[in-house]
Structure 1
């Protein structure tokens, strides 16, 4: 007892209370209720709210185009207009606009205007606006006959050019193979661009024509006069061009006809086309307008109610069959987060609207593997079913996709039940691909899909199979390093007997070391028998007695060939030394950085059991001395009682291993002693705080008894009363 009146037991309980006190929020029913409600609400947000706008059984997915309709018969309740899809309308509009050409007004030359312009040009003599080298222009024009000849020649040339299509716009700027020509003589005429001359081509054509038809003495004069009189005959009509485009735009219908009331919109077995999708969507929109549906309580309840029904599959299972997980709000938060993430991925695969089957990339198998590794395979099974149903419901009742993901997730979960290596995760790739691939083939064949579509879906399933284990590995790594979560992969790092603590135990306390190995073997076999975490209990057994390193000589298994030091100590002091190996073990384990889940085995494998050998010795001394009986609390371990199945298994395996050293290897006597050990702990309430059933206790007892028979060597026992058979050693 300390100076403040506290005992070792009370001090240890005070030290452990903060760790246990963390259960405040972790076990609060209010937090649990809010967590469940938040999960349902978040998942419900991803469900389709307006069922009348897009009826789930009507809307074919993009990958169903060209396949046979698998849904029900859809018959129109009333007449409606089938609205053409926007992408189809835009495609038709581009085709029509591409068929329209720029419009030009054609204004050919008039002879009277040409004569007037030529006369004005010649009247500029004696200072014409041009010069002709080598010619006496004054003398040529002074001669009336030569002047008339030049005038006739120029007018003849321009009269021919006046009937051509000449534009002042460079042809490369027109950007069309043809143009539309409008004139008073005809309404519209389509002209190939090769028939049109721009300014440069017109000058070249005039020069060539002069060279062919005019005598050499007059060629330069005629060309110079013709060049001054040359002008365009085509003029771009921007207003008319725009009007034609608007008329063409208006000529394209925005609808694909009318569906009459009572007419079948689509029937099973029909090929799904763009027209089918347009008819279904137009009918859905017509229903929305007819019923004037508004977002109300009923609409919200449909999505949230659907999500609540699906989520209840997992929550009801946890509440009735996995109360340990259900009580722990932190574990419940992890499951809820996984469900919301899967729901988000399912919604994204639907909302993106890609022609690729993105729904097969929902990494539900990764979620299944994480749950199986961190919790157990049965919980992973129910979590997989719940997540798959969420994806199916969010995707408008796409339960074929839900079944594909469900089968892949289940196989993924069972492939990591007994994880022994990180490389084992990648073995899961094959089983995920097998499950999803078989389901994809079955549903694709039933829907009559083409082979290219089937291969695409199988490829997406293969991509999911490759990605899911990698995602699982990343999540586990994050949980291990960031949140100190102990997975089987992390336990493998502590399962080696080369750990410094275990090597020190072998050197300083060889009897305890050998006891540790025997207990680990017995506990692992028992854990496998009931589906508990065998690796966790084996690693926990390795370190459960490391506290004996401080005073190994005070423990029976290390007293071979030496006197029992407890013979010279009062019972209360001996009990205090025995109990100290728990506190010493906790401090030693924490100093070496062992994970909390391993440290928990040190106090829990003894629970609050009575150190019976010294308790009986103290009672006997008090009786002989006529004093008051000792306080039982001074002879009990500080606890806490086992909180998990694994800790309870280790408690029984620890006692069972001790029996093998005080009893002969006779199955009947070993069985009777083991039954007494189990009965004593049940009556003492040691299993009240762990989820261990009587059926599991029977299986554990069978495995322990089988393992005990294989252990033959005897051990030195403390000198106790006749109760030694029931409590054969002081750990």
Structure 2
């Protein structure tokens, strides 16, 4: 049963706050009484202040409700998008129950494949040409005569000649230039000039490797078909080479190409080329495939694949605006309502689960934003999956299913993360169109998400995140293989795609580890959360504030270490956040750095400075260390949870020592009794159990430390005992038992200030009961059963700190010497 939450609270009190700086239990009684019982669960709780109606609810939870509505609306929009299914999913869905397998062995002759191979073999055969050398000689003779005619003085006047003809005549008057042109023409024609169009050949592709076989009087040689020149190409080559040789660019030789003897010099031999092709096709053997029982007989044909690709490409909603891409048909409406139901259930569970150190507002806000992040990432990766054209079996290991559950596990706890993993696994089949494989996607998504929760919940450094990424990659690989087996894929097929599955799965796992590690500080900073890695950093006693505390207030530093040890054991006993409780304890009194000499644990051989102050001034100084601690926490950017511990560990408790001192002085002087409120801390009550642990550990450690007293207290007790037994010794009494009874009778009033196991247990019970009666835990998320466990743990730890030992042998002899 939880303690009741109220707004008007009381606090505990301590024996000597001026010495400890904390409110602790009441003044010790002369004798140690029986252990007072802890208030039972049946104790009637105080009345709860009612909420201020709808306005209060909207002010407290309106923004969170808006966030969850936005998450639901965003998920609904993604559900309503009319995206075509991936063709591979369509195929798997259509053939899931129509797969034909061989029941007996047989041989299959693939004639279509043989035909394709024959066509390829025929295409690789060279085209046969004969070089027409007689035509070359005739063409050269005619070309020579044409050059000679151009070199002679023209019968026409220069004004009747075109500029190109005048330029050419001028160049050819040089006999060397004419011989050079004739040489270039001879080389080009001897290399072979083919006809413009040869329809029997398919060598127009840039990657064509077709060969040409040329038969001449000098023999037979082969060359690439694309290197054979046409008439136009040969004319261009001659013009370029001649222009380059005479150093004259842009020369026009079109006057030379009008001669009818300028014809192709290669004659295509159709019959010979066909004979070579037929011989090559005859040499091709028909592919034969042996089928054994159990092998799949029906596979996706190229035509079917092309049809499915065309179907996906023809999707009319691919490039349309998203608001025109919504489909609120019956099926999508059902999915949207299911999503609303599951999100509402998720919110209800979050409200019922107690999580430390996060408050209800924090976990609801972060959960809503995490859901929107999950919807966005799944949508982004699905779009990327479609763009990359990956096969169906790659979708399960491509989606970031474990990111949000792993993030929630590290930010909150395992219970919240498991709830998140379930809602994520449910949302994936609603958001992603997977045909008949919704059930497989649900349980495989849940499997990978739970693995992420298990490995990332306690991740605190880079090594943990990398190991978690590899473990998640292994889980995704297993999920992918199970999906393939569930879709009736043969093991041989799985082995063929296993390398790609491994690459995508482990890339996904490592990416999730990196994203979780990158997002954690962002969520911590934005929402005031604290993670395990941050707690481990703050747990370092070399922190700047703790080193200052050690140097400037060594007594407070030792007190904080003791409180941290007590709080750590207590948190472990009730399964609270152990690292958080320890960090809270280490930093809870950093405000004493402002005026360390006013706190009793820092008195070292000096007088009490409070003796010269009024009780009210002393109470204000004691109380001010909380405000100073909050200022230091803000200045050094301590986490919100640690700041809460600094602010709430005293609650609104009474500074009893100075209040009682003020009352005594007022009565002695005949003045009115001061108001109790003036001597109270003015800060919120503890809200979470870790702050309750620190509050109890702080008060109990200070009160027990006050029991030890100062050396002057022990000297006073010793003098009183010696004074009591001296007369009896002088009278000659030698009975040791009688002398001991005299000593005990003399100092019995001081036993409450002596550190014994009984006084320690009594003081701890007194502190816890006073805090309960003062309603300091009325707003805390802690039960009476947990308080009982805390009491037992604190008693055990403090007794272990102040353990008692027998005197070492020889010590008495040395003292007497």
The two structures have a TM-score, normalised by structure 2, of: 0.55
Alignment correspondent of 1:169: 196
Does residue 689 (structure 1) correspond to residue 771 (structure 2)? The answer is no
SS in 2 for 1:638: coil
- Point out where structure 2 has 5 or more consecutive residues left out of the alignment: 1-54, 100-115, 124-144, 149-192, 205-224, 233-257, 269-295, 313-325, 708-752, 805-817
Does residue 432 (structure 1) correspond to residue 472 (structure 2)? The answer is yes
SS in 1 for 2:664: helix
Cα distance between partner residues in 1 of 2:466 and 2:685: 38
Alignment correspondent of 1:211: none
Higher relative contact order (CA 8 A, sep 6+): 2
Say which of 453, 457, 480 aligns to 2:501: 457
Q: Mapping of 1:555-566 within 5 angstroms?
A: 555-566=599-610
Cα distance between partner residues in 2 of 1:34 and 1:331: 13
Question: What is the Cα-based RMSD across aligned positions, in Å?
Answer: 5.0
Cα distance between partner residues in 2 of 1:458 and 1:199: 54
Say whether the 8 Å CA contact 2:79–2:332 is kept in structure 1: no
Say which of 488, 497, 518 aligns to 2:532: 488
Say which of 346, 351, 355 aligns to 1:314: 346
Say which of 416, 420, 425 aligns to 1:379: 416
SS in 1 for 2:652: coil
> For each residue in 1:381-422, what CA deviation from the matched residue of structure 2 results, as whole angstroms up to 9, or x when unmatched?
211221222123323353433433433332332334444434
Does residue 515 (structure 1) correspond to residue 555 (structure 2)? The answer is no
Alignment correspondent of 2:510: 466
Q: Mapping of 1:474-553 within 5 angstroms?
A: 474-479=518-523, 486-553=530-597
Alignment correspondent of 1:729: none
Does residue 403 (structure 1) correspond to residue 464 (structure 2)? The answer is no
Cα distance between partner residues in 2 of 1:647 and 1:582: 14
SS in 2 for 1:496: coil
Say whether the 8 Å CA contact 2:589–2:625 is kept in structure 1: yes
Say whether the 8 Å CA contact 2:704–2:763 is kept in structure 1: no
Cα distance between partner residues in 1 of 2:659 and 2:91: 76
Alignment correspondent of 1:354: 390
SS in 2 for 1:28: helix
SS in 1 for 2:397: helix
Distance change (3 Å), C-alpha of 1:170 and 1:444: closer
Alignment correspondent of 1:705: 795
Cα distance between partner residues in 2 of 1:700 and 1:418: 24
Alignment correspondent of 1:366: 403
Q: Mapping of 1:192-207 within 5 angstroms?
A: none
Cα distance between partner residues in 1 of 2:91 and 2:498: 10
Alignment correspondent of 1:265: none
Say whether the 8 Å CA contact 1:618–1:630 is kept in structure 2: yes
> For each residue in 1:164-183, what CA deviation from the matched residue of structure 2 results, as whole angstroms up to 9, or x when unmatched?
xx996344997469xxxxxx
Aligned residue pair count: 528
1:357 shift after superposition: 0.7
Say whether the 8 Å CA contact 1:346–1:394 is kept in structure 2: no
> For each residue in 1:645-695, what CA deviation from the matched residue of structure 2 results, as whole angstroms up to 9, or x when unmatched?
322221122123224322877666545543443343344333333433344
Distance change (3 Å), C-alpha of 1:702 and 1:49: farther
Cα distance between partner residues in 2 of 1:346 and 1:305: 24
Distance change (3 Å), C-alpha of 1:511 and 1:448: same
Say whether the 8 Å CA contact 2:528–2:641 is kept in structure 1: no
Say which of 563, 567, 574 aligns to 2:618: 574
Cα distance between partner residues in 1 of 2:407 and 2:796: 33
- Point out where structure 1 has 5 or more consecutive residues left out of the alignment: 1-22, 73-93, 102-129, 134-165, 178-193, 202-223, 235-268, 285-293, 715-731
Say whether the 8 Å CA contact 1:50–1:299 is kept in structure 2: no
Q: Mapping of 1:656-667 within 5 angstroms?
A: 656-661=700-705, 662=707
Cα distance between partner residues in 2 of 1:476 and 1:318: 20
Say whether the 8 Å CA contact 1:349–1:358 is kept in structure 2: no
1:462 shift after superposition: 1.9
SS in 2 for 1:640: coil
Cα distance between partner residues in 2 of 1:514 and 1:350: 59
Alignment correspondent of 2:138: none
Cα distance between partner residues in 2 of 1:337 and 1:306: 17
Say which of 77, 83, 86 aligns to 1:45: 77
Say whether the 8 Å CA contact 2:570–2:794 is kept in structure 1: yes
Cα distance between partner residues in 2 of 1:604 and 1:70: 65
Cα distance between partner residues in 2 of 1:331 and 1:225: 89
SS in 2 for 1:660: helix
1:513 shift after superposition: 0.9
Between 609-618 and 328-337, the greater mean CA deviation after superposition: 328-337
Cα distance between partner residues in 2 of 1:692 and 1:646: 9
Alignment correspondent of 1:304: 336
Alignment correspondent of 1:647: 691
Cα distance between partner residues in 2 of 1:657 and 1:553: 19
The two structures have a TM-score, normalised by structure 1, of: 0.60
Say whether the 8 Å CA contact 2:626–2:646 is kept in structure 1: yes
Say whether the 8 Å CA contact 1:404–1:435 is kept in structure 2: no
